[in-house]
Amino acid sequence: MKNFLSLSLTSFLFSSVLWVLWHFIDTHVLFLAGKGGLFYLPHAARVICVVYFGWKAMPALYFGELIGPYVINPGMYPFSILIPSLISVISVPLSLALLNALGFSLGQTRASPLNKRNYKHILLITFISAGFNALLVNLYLSRNNLSFSNAITDIEQVSAFLIGDILGAIIVFILLAYLLKPVIRQARNQ
């Protein structure tokens, strides 16, 4: 139970901080204002937390997906995001399930078909989950006649979701690698 609470708190905080950072950049950084769809940072939280913590991280990630739009900026979306947020969080386990069905199970050893320690495998999971998220969220939006302001659900929006999730996750991965490099170096020296 203690482990579940600590990983839930970690997942929630990581997701929420990335959402707040993404929202701030999207609304306040002059040359990026309004272009937040091109780099959706919270997708990195979904991928990292589900890959490393498993299904136990999903409730906290879902809550983190909701807290920003409902608490920090309540009028951000012209529709309820309860279902789209759930689809977004489920996109990572769906990608893991697809890879597992294809014979690529996630493990921690070098002998595992997918290794949690290999950044290439994490990027593969990021690409597949971004694809699931882009297709399934936009399918839900189009089937229910929902859309973002001044946009229709079409291939352009699906592409923006796909590119935004991938670029946002890559930006976060690079930042984490840069920020955690001294910590990893110190751990290896001990």
User: Does the structure show a pLDDT above 90 at 152?
Assistant: no
Coil, helix or strand at residue 149: coil
Q: What is the pLDDT of residues 62-78, one digit of tens each?
A: 999 898 778 777 776 76
Contacts of residue 129, Cβ cutoff 8 Å, sequence gap at least 6? 43, 46, 47, 91, 92, 94, 95, 165
Which residues, listed in sequence order, are joined to residue 115 by a DSSP beta bridge? 107
User: Comparing 25-29, 38-42, 157-161, 178-182, which segment has the lowest mean pLDDT?
Assistant: 25-29
pLDDT at site 153: 61
Q: How high is the mean pLDDT of the chain? A: 86
Residues 15-28, buried b or exposed e (16+ Cβ, 10 A)?
bbebbbebbeebee
CA atoms of 153 and 34, how far apart (whole Å): 18
Residue of 1 and 117 predicted with greater confidence: 117
pLDDT tens digits along 114-138: 777 788 899 999 999 999 999 999 8
Higher-confidence position of 81 and 152: 81
Q: Rounded CA gap, 83 and 86, in Å? A: 5
Query: Considering only CA atoms, which of 2, 138, 114 is closest in space to residue 47?
Result: 114
d(CA 138, CA 141): 5
pLDDT tens string 55-64: 999 999 999 9
The model's confidence at residue 53, banded by pLDDT at 50, 70 and 90, is: very high
Residue 149 has pLDDT above 60, yes or no: no
By three-state DSSP, how is residue 114 classified? strand
pLDDT at 78: 64
Contact criterion met (CB below 8 Å) for 94 and 71: no
Collapsing DSSP to helix, strand or coil, 93 comes out as: helix
Give me the domain span that covers residue 27. Answer: 2-189
pLDDT computed for residue 64 by the predictor:
92
The more confidently predicted of residues 109 and 127 is 127
Residue with tokens 């290999």: 118
Q: Domain of 161: which CATH number?
A: 1.10.1760
Tell me what pLDDT residue 187 has: 79
- 139 pLDDT exceeds 70? yes
With beta carbons less than 8 A apart as the criterion, state whether 48 and 129 touch. Answer: no
Output the pLDDT for position 154.
Answer: 76
How many domains does the structure of the chain reveal? Answer: 1
